[in-house]
Amino acid sequence: MNKKMMKQNNSTIFSGRTGLAVEADELSYRYPDGTLALQNIHLRVKTGEKVAVTGPNGSGKSTLITLLNGVRRGNGRLKIFDIPVNKHDLTLVKQKVGLIFQNPDDQLFCPTIFEDVAFGPLNLGLSREKVEQRVKEALHSVGLNGYEQRSSFHLSYGERKLASIATVIAMQPQLIAADEPTSNLDLAHRRKIIQWFKTCRQTVVMTTHDLDMALETCDRVIVLHRGKIVADGATRQILTDQNLLERYQLELPLSLQASRAKS
């Protein structure tokens, strides 16, 4: 197997033998009521890659994301940074994967933003000074400096989304799994989040309907349809293939539609 050279320094320490952040084979997940959400997923994500997972509603995107962190357990083989995701190594996996949920209110549950962002580092057992430092850095990365003593319910939706991202990056995970990071956002906050994903050094797997964001931030796009991967390739390749997109109820990113309309 051809191992790519690692671009980011911090990932060489943690990338493991294979250099793969995510290694999934025959992964499947069935909901308790019997519905098959994911079938036979075969996935390789290299350390440092940024992957967008898209597809119609109900195709299994969110389920796939929650499998990456060990929150849900499916059948088949799944390894995160060469650590198998099973009962035994779950804590290790959780430390390496940061899961950003779609609804920020599910992740902000402390009286102040400071306590929310400090929740993760405190659970890691860090000292008081380290915790405070992590909180400061995380809030700075998402542009929420000075928001420490604010309560989450006083913030607008966009600010809450940014705060929920801060709660996860304060744990400094190597892999970020994000579920619809730009949904329901105004353009200013959306721009901030796109900017953050563009400049972050971690491996990213995100689900999104916002194909323009995928175009800007991700190297690779995967299309899910009814629980199966139906397309997997470079962003430029997938998102310009109009036939492919339309077959799976997607459209060209707006920016490409505009340029095509002109020509």
Partner 1 sequence: MKHDFLDHHRSGNSPVHLADPRLKIVVMLLFIFAVVITPYREMSDFLCYAGILFIIALVSRVSLFHYLSKLLKLYPMIFLITFLLPFFPALNGAEYQIGFVKIYQSGLQKFALINIKSVLAILMSIVLTVTTDFSMLLKGVEKLRVPRLPIMVLSFMYRFIFLLIDETERMQMAYQSRYVKLPVLRRLQIFSQQIGVLFIRTYERGERVYQAMDSRGWSGEVRTLNDLHWRRTDTLHFALFALSMMVPVIFI
Residue 124 Cβ, how far from partner 1 at the closest point, in Å? Answer: 6
In 10 A of CB 28, how many CB atoms? 18
**Residue (177 or 256) nearer to partner 1, CB:** 177
Which residue bears the tokens 């002109």?
262
**Residue (10 or 102) nearer to partner 1, CB:** 102
Nearest 5°: phi and psi at 77? -110, 135
**Residue (162 or 168) nearer to partner 1, CB:** 168
With beta carbons less than 8 A apart as the criterion, state whether 158 and 188 touch.
yes
**Residue (170 or 250) nearer to partner 1, CB:** 170
**Residue (52 or 176) nearer to partner 1, CB:** 176
**Residue (70 or 181) nearer to partner 1, CB:** 70
Closest CA relative to residue 214, chosen from 29, 5, 96, 61: 61
DSSP H stretches of helix in the chain: 9-14, 61-68, 90-96, 113-123, 128-141, 157-169, 187-199, 211-217, 235-239, 242-247, 254-262
Residue-by-residue DSSP string for 84-114:
E-SSTTHHHHHHHEEEE-S-GGGT--SSSHH
With beta carbons less than 8 A apart as the criterion, state whether 39 and 50 touch.
no
Residue 148 Cβ, how far from partner 1 at the closest point, in Å? Answer: 12
Q: Distance (Å, rounded) from C-alpha 187 to C-alpha 189? A: 6
Q: Distance (Å, rounded) from C-alpha 83 to C-alpha 221? A: 24
* Residues found near partner 1 in the complex (CB under 8 A): 66, 69-71, 91, 94-95, 97-99, 101, 103, 105-111, 118-120, 122-124, 128, 131-132, 151-153, 167-168, 171
**Residue (118 or 239) nearer to partner 1, CB:** 118
Residue 170 Cβ, how far from partner 1 at the closest point, in Å? Answer: 9
Strands 83-84 and 75-80: antiparallel
Residue 177 Cβ, how far from partner 1 at the closest point, in Å? Answer: 9
Closest CA relative to residue 48, chosen from 6, 83, 88: 6
